[in-house]
Structure 1
Amino acid sequence: MWNKMMQILGLSDEEPRTEKMRELAREDHSSDVVQMQRKAAVVSLHTQKQLKMILCEPKSFEEAQTIADHLRTHRPVVLNLHKAQFDHAIRIMDFISGTIYALGGRMEKIGHQIFLCAPDNVEIQGAISDLLKQQTEYNQAASKSK
């Protein structure tokens, strides 16, 4: 009681109380930092896993499911249909295009009966079909000039 009276009159030293408040504030701050560290997830930018590209030359429709499984595991697939019979190639393309649509991916033609099938985690830039079209037009113009 005597200390309180002295503090009210301004005659006592308030340093012990101020120091105690500072210590409490430091403890609160350190506990906040610990809680923030527990909540924060640290992600290294250099630990990106290596992406594999799968090359497939199916001969029959039975191989289409294996190709779809690669796409489901987020691996891009280059699909060469040269070895497949025409009716099998059409069925394979129907199955794979449905898979790609369901996964939100893309399919690009990169040559005659060759397709790049990419899941949603792979971005495709550019268009080879434009280059093929330009090459065809150039070849046609060159043959007319002869």
Structure 2
Amino acid sequence: MGYLGRRNSNSLPRLNGLAQDGLASLSSLQFKLDLLAPQLPADDEVQSATAYLESWKNQSHNLRLSLRIANLQAKANMRKPAQEERELLLGGGGESTIGRRNLQTKAGMTSAAESIPESLRCTRQLMVQEVERSASTLMTFEESTGILKKAESEYKGHR
């Protein structure tokens, strides 16, 4: 049971989900820095923040590419034993038809069980990103409203 628990905690979909969540957090922080950098008081601070932002964007892009490559390699590695097993099964061998059906059913259930959490995780990640974007848009609207109210009061004061 200890091995099984350890295996599940380090499964590909779980590790992939953790990596995707980390990249989503990084993307959110980049978005916030992109909004806040122009508001810094000094031009050199704005340039420095912009340089950091570009560096982070490049590193984030490289991390996403590395994650894609790692996922493709992991899927290829997972398919390889299944392909070998399929060739053995189709080649005849000594197994019975019932044994073949059981292996095919187990393989189908395993792949379905792995794909569902991954798709849910991706959906959750997209929803989190949209909520963060909406929150930052709302914050921007609130700031703009405050600035407009201040300008209106100054305009009325000048009249």
Of Structure 1 and Structure 2, the greater strand share is in: 1
TM over 0.5: no
Larger Rg: 1
More relative contact order, 1 or 2 (CA 8 Å, 6+ apart): 2
Higher normalized helix content (fraction of residues) = 2
Q: Structure 1-normalised TM-score?
A: 0.31
